[in-house]
Amino acid sequence: MSNASSAPQHSTELPNGWEMVVGLEVHVELDTKTKLFSASPNRFGDEPNTNIDPVTLGLPGALPVLNKQAVELAIRLGLALNCTVQPSTFHRKNYFYQDMPKAYQISQYDQPINIDGFMMLPGDVRIGIERAHLEEDTGKSTHIGGTSGRIHGSDYSLVDFNRAGVPLVEIVSRPDIRNSDQARQYVAELRSILLAVGASDAKMEEGSMRCDVNVSVRKPGAEFGTRCEIKNVNSIRAVGKAIDYEARRQIDVLESGGTIRQETRHWDDSEGRTHTLRTKEDADDYRYFLEPDLVLLDPDQEWIESIRASLPMLPAARRAQLATLTGANKESESVYVIVERGQDDYVSAVAQAGGDAARALVYVQQAFAEEGATPKVAASDIATLTQMERDAKITATQAKTILSEMVANGGGDPVAIASAKGFEALDTSAVEAMVDAAIAQQADAWAKYCAGEEKAMGALVGAIMKASQGKADGKVVTAILQARRAK
């Protein structure tokens, strides 16, 4: 499973009744063919400074022309996040840096394309989305020499402008997140949505999805505390760790009588702590003003509705559908995992072929981690396998063995495999006889078990399984032993 894991990893409680207030700013690179304002390819990993042009380099006289596909993907994402799509404008955010070719970034400011959305997290937690706006990415600097990999103290810097002008959407949540679990769930769910609507490949390791985290602490019901923004949080795991670290740091400061300065901090993943990057006083004055080289972006309603109509079923709806089909909890790990892998349609195909949906969910989760959305094994064969187990024709252990073989061979008839291996579940009367024999042979264990020592059951089950050469169903054996003791 990827780092997008939604598996519960409960964050520890904050001390003394403190509560954290967290908002996330997530930048995602849109999966367009070309850049936001020019025709150069939007492609990761190419030779440095090959995907460039006069607009990308900010050459004198070059003018931006907005990429329609970027607008479409931004709208897709906005609609998937339940946002209102509105007429929008672009501003210039002015600052000098060597990887910012024009010395300003074109970004949406007070009139973003998507506003007022929300996302639901497990437990019916609603996280507001303030805005999801379009902007251009910067180039990438590599600082050579020095120790820290930062520009300060380096000998020289290399700049690659391939990334400059790549379309980004910045998704800004409301400060509705109250613990690091929710923050991780939010990022994971956002990633799933991005992938589902095809807006981005959302690879945090390649930087196509990047998180900035705003953290403050307060006593419940009090006003929001002063917040710090944490940058360089580059994995979902780091999101959780950085938030937990930062909240505790702020609590320590406040409890020892200090005050929190509003500042930007840097997450050092190897040290597991945050450092001051710059204080509010050092912050640039970006001198935003309306970008005079672009005009109002006013997508017509018909286009917006056609985009809405083309949206796929979103992960939340697919999880609900899979949960209904399989009887599993929609917030269970298996449901999340299957939908994230895109294998819910496959589980549904197994069920349609007459298979047991609940067992199919388990099989697919366990056996198809490497398979992607369309496993090679025919859904009808998995259906047959679930039926064999459900009807006690084979044991769970045997089913697992057959499944492994099917996966290894890219398919196979489970009936044929079972018979080739001599698998058949013993009928209950045969098992009863073996239980009698085991109790007679291991009187000590039986006595202990009857006296309430649950561990003693292991020796009995082991003996029975050995006697049956694995053909007895472990669950059946356990049930018989429990029934005997209860008499």
Partner 1 sequence: MTKPFATVVDIAADIAAGKTSAVEVLEQHLARITERESDIHAFNLVTTEQARATAQQVDADIKAGKPVGPLAGVPVALKDNMCTRGIETTCSSKILEGWKPPYDATVVTRLQQAGAVMVGKTNLDEFAMGSSTENSAFGPTKNPLDTSRVPGGSSGGSAAAVAAGFAAASLGSDTGGSIRQPASLCGLVGVKPTYGLVSRQGIVAFASSLDQVGPFTHTVADAALMMEVIGGHDPLDSTSLPQPMPSLTSVLGQGVKGMRIGRLADMPDGCEPEVLARMDAAYVALQAAGATIVDIALPSLSYCLTAYYLVAPAEASSNLARYDGVRYGMRVETGDLHSMYGATRAAGFGAEVKRRIMLGTYALSAGYFDAYYGKALKVRRLIANDFAAAYEKCDVILTPTSPTVAFPLGDKTSDPLTMYLCDIFTIPTNLAGHAAMSVPFGTGAHNMPVGVQVLAPALGEQTMFRVAAELERAS
Ramachandran area for residue 410 (φ above 0: left; ψ -120 to 50: alpha; else beta): left
For residues 26 and 36, is the Cβ–Cβ distance under 8 A?
Answer: no
What is the H or E stretch that residue 290 is in?
A: strand 289-290
Answer positive or negative: Cα dihedral of 362, 366, 367, 370: positive
Task: Give the integer Cα–Cα distance in Å for 173 and 185.
Answer: 13
Decide: is 101 part of the binding site for partner 1 (CB under 8 A): yes
Q: Select from 114-122, 151-159, 307-315, 424-432 the region that touches partner 1 (CB under 8 A).
A: 151-159
Binding mask 42-61 for partner 1 (x = CB under 8 A): ------------x--xxxxx
Residue 105 Cβ vs partner 1, minimum distance, rounded to whole Å = 11
Shortest distance (Å) from residue 90 CB to partner 1: 10
Which lies closer to partner 1 via its Cβ, residue 66 or residue 320?
66
Q: Identify which range of 102-110, 359-367, 386-394, 428-436 contacts partner 1 by CB under 8 A.
A: 102-110
Say if residues 468 and 437 touch (Cβ distance below 8 Å): no
Q: Which is nearer to partner 1, 58 or 462 (CB)?
A: 58
Site for partner 1 in 266-285 (CB under 8 A): 285
- Residue with the two structure tokens 């006595």: 447
Using the minimum distance from each CB to partner 1, give the nearer residue, 100 or 169. 100
The pattern of x and - marking residues 153 through 192 that bind partner 1 according to CB under 8 A reads: ----x-x---------------------------------
User: How many beta carbons lie within 10 A of that of residue 36, not counting itself?
Assistant: 28
The separation between the first and the last C-alpha atoms of the chain, rounded to the nearest angstrom, is 45
Nearer of residues 90 and 245 to partner 1, judged by Cβ: 90
CB of 231 to partner 1, least distance (A): 20
Using CA atoms, how far residue 397 sits from 175, 189, 287, 361, 394, in Å, is: 48, 34, 67, 16, 8
Strands (E), 57-183: 84-85, 91-94, 104-107, 114-121, 125-136, 140-144, 156-160, 167-173
Measured at the CA of 249, the angle between CA 247 and CA 251, to 5 degrees, comes to: 70
DSSP strands (E only) in 361-434:
none
Give the residue with the Cβ less far from partner 1, 158 or 483: 158
Q: b/e string for 296-332 if b means 16 or more Cβ within 10 A? A: ebebeeeeeeebeeeeeebbbebbebbbebbebebbb
Per CB under 8 A, does 354 bind partner 1?
A: no
Q: How far is the CB of 115 from partner 1 (least distance, A)?
A: 23
Nearer to partner 1, 13 or 155 (CB): 155
Contact assessment for residue 109 and residue 288, using Cβ atoms and an 8 Å cutoff: yes
Which one, 59 or 479, has the nearer CB to partner 1? 59
- 336 and 6 in contact (C-beta within 8 Å)? yes
Q: Which of residues 290-329 bind partner 1 (CB under 8 A)?
A: 292-295
Structural tokens at position 98: 């060597």
**Using rule CB under 8 A, residue 69 touches partner 1:** no
Question: What are the structure tokens assigned to 297, written together?
Answer: 């972006």
Residue 419 interacts with partner 1 (CB under 8 A): yes or no: no
63 in contact with partner 1 (CB under 8 A): yes
Name the segment binding partner 1 (CB under 8 A); options: 94-102, 167-175, 221-229, 399-407.
94-102
- Nearest residue (CB) to partner 1, 118 versus 303: 303
Residue 103 as a binder of partner 1 (CB under 8 A): the answer is yes
| Residue span binding partner 1 (CB under 8 A) among the ranges 91-99, 168-176, 189-197, 264-272 | 91-99
Number of residues engaging partner 1 in binding (CB under 8 A): 30
Choose, by CB under 8 A, the member of 28, 40, 64, 177 that binds partner 1.
64
| Distances from the Cα of 201 to the Cα of 204, 205, 224, 305, 394, angstroms | 9, 11, 34, 24, 42
**For the residues of 48-83, what is the DSSP string, one character each?**
TT-S--HHHHT-TT------HHHHHHHHHHHHHTTP
* Least distance to partner 1, CB of residue 299, Å: 15
> What is the per-residue binding string for partner 1 in 8-47, x denoting contact by CB under 8 A?
----------------------------------------
**Least Å from the CB of residue 199 to partner 1:** 23
Q: How far is the CB of 375 from partner 1 (least distance, A)?
A: 47
Backbone phi and psi for residue 298, each to the nearest 5 degrees, phi listed first: -130, 75
Percent helix / strand / coil, the chain, rounded to 5: 40, 20, 40
Q: Which CB atom, from 96 or from 440, has the smaller least distance to partner 1?
A: 96
**Binding residue for partner 1 (CB under 8 A) from 289, 436, 437, 444?**
289
d(CA 382, CA 395): 15
Q: Which residue's CB is nearer to partner 1, number 92 or number 163?
A: 92
Smaller CB separation from partner 1, 66 or 304: 66
For partner 1, which is the closer residue by CB, 33 or 287?
A: 287
The binding site for partner 1 (CB under 8 A) comprises 54, 57-66, 92, 94, 96, 98, 101-104, 151, 157, 159, 285, 287-289, 292-295
